[in-house]
Amino acid sequence: MKSEENVDGNTTSYVNKTDVDGVESIGISAGYNWALENNIITGLEINHQTFLHNEFNSVWHTDGTPDNLYPAEVKMKHRTDYKVKYGFTHGVRNSLLYITAGISNLKYDYHNTADDLNSRYKQLTKLDGYLFGVGGEYPYKNNISIKGEFLKTKYDSTFISASPPNDVGAGKNNYGENITLKLGFVYHY
């Protein structure tokens, strides 16, 4: 997470460093595909995933220096994606290749663990954003396909308004990005 403030020509950079690499999750998807002419496929899909092994430390940095007034713990909760896809079937057993885009909703607990008990707080945080990616499905047997998907998600700037430093003020710019690789099975009925 990153924010910058410009007051009277001076810029202060606030950066929140939360390393969430290697997060594992389990989820479920539901969707519907339509077959158009010339092997073209379009579809709608919703995915919901719950995070496993999901607690991470978070440290704010002010102008590149760790700010120990705002140490925190982040506990990932769940993510829901709403997507459209567009692709085509080809080759062996009508494999499907597609591009996808949509919106994403991420929820997690943000717990300030500062030594000063007056500045501690815990809150459920929600980020909304957009995503895009590519994917493919390979028919395995009967009604089952193997699916892989690569997604990049970018979340909006709402998080900084509820997190330290609380006096960031006007001109704040906060963002979060996520890259996801999904592998799984699809049941067609």
Tokens linked to 106:
């991420």
Whether 177 has a pLDDT exceeding 60, the answer reads: yes
Q: Which residues of 114-152 are buried (b: 16+ CB within 10 A; e: fewer)?
A: eeeeeeeeeeeeebebebebebebbbeeeeebebebebe
Query: Using 50, 70 and 90 to split pLDDT, how confident is the model at 68?
Result: low
pLDDT at residue 33, as a whole number: 93
Q: In this structure, what token pair is assigned to residue 109?
A: 């607990």
Model confidence pLDDT, tens digit, residues 91-100 = 878 899 999 9
22-26, 78-82, 103-107: which range is least confident on average? 22-26
